[in-house]
């Protein structure tokens, strides 16, 4: 039997989980497969993609700001 709260294996016929203390109810292994385990390593590819998109956005913003800055300078120089 497995705990429905933390996913740890429990003693058969136990009333409470020895790991987290939640009341034990019969749970099969198939029900545990979808359980998200805390402390699991993050997806490295997703993290890399977020970093690449973030840096790309910063570069685009910098280029736009630089271009707008030069337009403003030329405008005030022509006054």
CA nearest 5: which of 42, 30, 31? 31
Give the model confidence (pLDDT) of 45-60 as tens digits. Answer: 888 899 999 999 999 9
Stated pTM of the model:
0.40
Q: Where are the domains of the chain?
A: 1-36, 41-77
Give the model confidence (pLDDT) of 5-45 as tens digits. Answer: 787 887 777 788 888 888 876 555 555 555 555 555 567 78
């Amino acid at each position: 039997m497995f705990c429905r709260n933390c996913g740890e294996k429990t003693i058969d016929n136990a009333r409470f989980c020895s790991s987290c203390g939640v009341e034990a109810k019969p749970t099969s292994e198939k029900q545990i497969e979808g359980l998200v385990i805390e402390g699991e390593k993050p997806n490295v590819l997703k993290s890399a993609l977020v970093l690449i998109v973030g840096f790309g956005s910063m570069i685009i913003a910098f280029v736009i700001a630089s271009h707008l800055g030069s337009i403003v300078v030329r405008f005030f120089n022509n006054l």
